[in-house]
Amino acid sequence: MSTRYPFTAVVGMDDLRLALLLNAVSPAVGGVLVRGEKGTAKSTAVRALAELLPEVPVVPGCRFSCDPAAPDPDCPDGPHEAGAGVPRPARMVELPVGASEDRLVGSLDIERALAEGVKAFEPGLLAQAHRGILYVDEVNLLGDFLVDHLLDAAAMGASHVEREGVSVRHAARFLLVGTMNPEEGELRPQLLDRFGLTVEVAASRDPEQRVEVVRRRLAYDDDPAGFAARWAGEEAALRERIAAARALLPQVRLGDDALRQIAATCAAFEVDGMRADIVMARTATALAAWAGRTGVTVDDVRQAALLALPHRRRRSPFDAPGLDEDKLDETLEEFGGDDGPDPDPQGPDGDGGDGDDGGPDGDGGGPGGGGGVPPQAQEPGPRAGAPEPSGERPEAAPSPGAGPAPAREQSPVAAAEPFRTKVLTVPGVGDGAAGRRSRARTEHGRTTGARRPHGALTKLHLTATVQAAAPHQRARGRSGPGFVVRPDDLRQAVREGREGNLVLFVVDASGSMAARQRMGAVKGAVLSLLLDAYQRRDKVGLVTFRGRDAELVLPPTSSVDAAATRLERLPTGGRTPLAAGLVKAHDVLRVERLRDPARRPLLVVVTDGRATGGPQPLRLVARAAGLHAAEGTASVVVDCETGPVRLGLAAGLARDLGGTAVTLDELRADAIAGLVKDVRTTRRAA
């Protein structure tokens, strides 16, 4: 086994280290989600945590890590008698993003189950992680089917595997730790709420601290074992402190004042459900035990709120993360009392703190020095919210026939409120990434047929299997009761579910669309479509055109909030190079087809259809639209033309694209009865 980077050698990142250590002290806190940019040692810190956890006793020979003091009565390897066990190190099990369902939950040998009638079960990662850590790197990129299993196991503390009447259940209680880069997309709210704490990490801007990070990393790469040996003392001290805090935890008292502050804080920030209150209470208790105190203070409650609430107060992926700390302080002061315990003067620092963290390197980064004990996280600075709407300036939109005028850039217009949109789908059946937009062949969904298995059998089609085996029973010596099934008879169920698509927005930001009220409605419509794309697990991209050319504002990504940010700051004005926008979109889709050929594109053009610039601009638009029609790209034109006299240019563009046109009013799901079932398009022959 390779030598892991020591936890105490990690420089800085106080919030991250504190959140991980609190979970080590009290696994009931519920895990931690680490959000941050790439290259910030998120995975390094999480992997190092496993080395600090105490050993766990297990039943000898049990593949499901049953506790010998209270064995699982439903353990597939049981029943076990209570008694002494054998200690082993706490496991950290990593769930790869591309893992299969069988790898996560375990698999049944269906051939043996049918032919021999035995439950031959091979445990999966959930069984291996029982009583340990389940670590999911890039958790926001997990497929929905894996997320569903994680949610079930986290909620019930058990995993169920059922297939063709064969059922297996085993305990699966684990510490869930995930890392993610928000630029690659957000998590489903249901999974987000399963993480007890969340922290935001970023690379330090302090040159001295960055130098120390590089120095330590180079030393570790040159001699991992020697580097770990130099930090062995700090690791042992931190391990002992975790054990001491665990022993003290049952004695910590959570007073009524602290409970009222917790409840008031969750109510003030309008957090859904009661899980946040429970997590805050457990976190505040763990903070007190970590500081060596038996009473919870208001500082513990405040720190618990900063760790437990930011990811729970987001109502949509476009909400800015973080908490209003002034509001938090006002709430704690309003609901504070006099019967809460004072900080214990006999704590490690004499002030209820965490001890001397000054390291030999003088970086003040916590685990890099001293006893390797990180301080309580410093109060984060104010977080950036949404951009403030700019002041209103009267702008006259140029008439369609006006000559070339100097491009005058207008200040960004705030978007109107988003709404629930129609369902826009790509026709046909695909086989791309799991999602909720278009029909696709998937491992989940309704059964539509059967085929011979290609590789391992995962979903048995029982009727088709029986039909395949029935004609051969006499030849197999069965003339009476009984039924012989051979491997060649097995049939895989073909299922149809939903896939996520690549939704590429092409937005007109020119002078013809620059009337401020209309551009606000346009941005609101695109924001609504972005929210719909987030809910349906799509990738999105954003192309805008104005002035002389088109620009890829946002390359295709899973981060729809990044697209919303670009949209909010989108300036307007100038000519209308519609053809350039369509050509740029064609180039983007061509590259994306090479990168991810299974993810089918949906082109959404938001325009009034007008085009200016260059000779015969409408002819250029028709030629550019023909490129998409020839590729068979599904397309929708959102017609933004308003006023008593309408030219109908957007409808003509939709015909050239081989797609369909909808107005801003028709885009609302509740504007007319029924939903859009298909996007009409010219399909290239398979």
Query: 65-69, 343-347, 525-529: which has the minimum mean pLDDT?
Result: 343-347
Domain that residue 318 falls in: 246-344
Residue that is written with structure tokens 């050239």 in the block: 656
Confidence at residue 180, expressed as pLDDT on a 0 to 100 scale = 86
Domain count, the chain: 4
Q: How far is the C-alpha of 493 from the C-alpha of 473, rounded, in Å?
A: 22
The answer to whether residue 380 is domain-embedded is: no
Q: What is the pLDDT of residues 438-493, one digit of tens each?
A: 888 877 667 888 888 887 777 788 778 888 888 888 888 776 666 788 888 888 88
- Supply the mean pLDDT for the chain: 80
Strand-strand pairing, 166-171 and 158-163: antiparallel
Confidence at residue 363, expressed as pLDDT on a 0 to 100 scale = 39
Q: What is the pLDDT of residues 256-293, one digit of tens each?
A: 999 999 999 999 998 888 989 999 999 999 999 999 99
The answer to whether residue 322 is domain-embedded is: yes
What are the beta bridge partners of residue 502? Answer: 539, 601
107 and 198 together in one domain: yes
Please check the confidence at residue 7 and state whether its pLDDT lies above 90.
Answer: yes
148 and 275 together in one domain: no
Q: What is the pLDDT of residues 335-350, one digit of tens each?
A: 876 544 444 434 444 4
508 and 653 together in one domain: yes
Burial of 361 (0-12, 13-18, 19+ CB in 10 A): middle
- Rounded mean pLDDT, 57-61: 90
25 and 121 together in one domain: yes
- B/e letters for 284-322, b = 16+ CB within 10 Å, e = fewer, are bbbbbbbbbbebbbbbbbbbbbbbbbbbbbbebbbeebb
Transcribe 399-411 into DSSP letters: PTT-------PBP
Query: 268-277, 358-367, 505-514: which has the minimum mean pLDDT?
Result: 358-367
The residue among 464, 498, 532 that closes a domain is 498
DSSP class of 253: B
Q: What is the pLDDT of residues 89-134, one digit of tens each?
A: 888 899 987 787 788 888 776 666 655 656 677 888 999 999 889 9
Transcribe 80-107 into DSSP letters: ---S--EEEPPPEEE--TT--HHHHH-E
Strand-strand pairing, 660-663 and 634-639: parallel
The answer to whether residue 384 is domain-embedded is: no
640 and 541 together in one domain: yes
Q: How far is the C-alpha of 590 from the C-alpha of 592, rounded, in Å?
A: 6
165 and 140 together in one domain: yes
Query: 6-15, 54-63, 136-145, 656-665: which has the minimum mean pLDDT?
Result: 136-145
SS3 sequence of 319-381: CCCCCCHHHHHHHHHHCCCCCCCCCCCCCCCCCCCCCCCCCCCCCCCCCCCCCCCCCCCCCCC
Q: How far is the C-alpha of 94 from the C-alpha of 137, rounded, in Å?
A: 8
471 and 508 together in one domain: no
**Quick one: CA torsion of 147, 152, 155, 159, rounded to 10 degrees?**
-120
**Collapsed DSSP state (helix, strand, coil) of residue 267:** helix
Instruction: State the CATH number of the domain containing residue 545.
Output: 3.40.50.410
Transcribe 101-133 into DSSP letters: HHHHH-EE-HHHHHHH----EE--HHHHTTTSE
Q: How far is the C-alpha of 38 from the C-alpha of 501, rounded, in Å?
A: 25
The residue among 498, 531, 559 that closes a domain is 498
538 and 652 together in one domain: yes
Please check the confidence at residue 69 and state whether its pLDDT lies above 50.
Answer: yes
Please check the confidence at residue 319 and state whether its pLDDT lies above 80.
Answer: no
Measured in Å, how far apart are the chain's first and last C-alpha atoms? 49
Of 188, 210, 275, 593, catalytic = 275
480 and 516 together in one domain: no
> Nearest CA to 174 among 198, 196, 144?
196
Please check the confidence at residue 142 and state whether its pLDDT lies above 60.
Answer: yes
Please check the confidence at residue 9 and state whether its pLDDT lies above 60.
Answer: yes
CB atoms within 10 A of CB 69: 11
478 and 529 together in one domain: no
647's enclosing H/E stretch is none
Instruction: State the CATH number of the domain containing residue 20.
Output: 3.40.50.300
For residue 374, say if its preceding peptide bond is cis, omega within 30 degrees of 0: no
Confidence at residue 407, expressed as pLDDT on a 0 to 100 scale = 45
Confidence at residue 256, expressed as pLDDT on a 0 to 100 scale = 92
Residue that is written with structure tokens 């909808």 in the block: 662
DSSP class of 609: S
Instruction: State the CATH number of the domain containing residue 335.
Output: 1.10.8.80
CB 397 within 8 A of CB 511: yes
The answer to whether residue 118 is domain-embedded is: yes
Query: 22-26, 67-71, 99-103, 677-681: which has the minimum mean pLDDT?
Result: 677-681
Q: What is the pLDDT of residues 555-613, one digit of tens each?
A: 888 888 788 888 888 888 888 899 999 999 999 999 999 888 889 999 999 998 988 87
> Nearest CA to 208 among 14, 380, 364?
364
* Global pTM value: 0.67
Confidence at residue 219, expressed as pLDDT on a 0 to 100 scale = 94
Q: How far is the C-alpha of 133 from the C-alpha of 10, rounded, in Å?
A: 20
The answer to whether residue 62 is domain-embedded is: no
Please check the confidence at residue 518 and state whether its pLDDT lies above 80.
Answer: no
Annotated catalytic residue 275:
yes
Q: Computed from CA positions of residues 7, 13, 14, 15, in that sequence, does the dihedral angle turn out positive or negative? A: negative
189 and 297 together in one domain: no
CB 573 within 8 A of CB 556: no
Residue that is written with structure tokens 């630029």 in the block: 183
566 and 464 together in one domain: no
Q: What is the pLDDT of residues 418-452, one digit of tens each?
A: 888 888 889 888 887 778 888 888 776 678 888 88
The answer to whether residue 441 is domain-embedded is: no
In which band, very low, low, confident or very high, does the pLDDT at 383 lie, cut at 50, 70 and 90?
very low
CB atoms within 10 A of CB 497: 17
The answer to whether residue 587 is domain-embedded is: yes
The share of the chain scoring above pLDDT 70, in percent, equals 81
Q: Which amino acid is at 146?
A: L
CB 457 within 8 A of CB 490: yes
CB atoms within 10 A of CB 503: 27
The answer to whether residue 430 is domain-embedded is: no
The residue among 344, 371, 386 that closes a domain is 344
CB 117 within 8 A of CB 110: no
Confidence at residue 371, expressed as pLDDT on a 0 to 100 scale = 39
Burial of 479 (0-12, 13-18, 19+ CB in 10 A): exposed
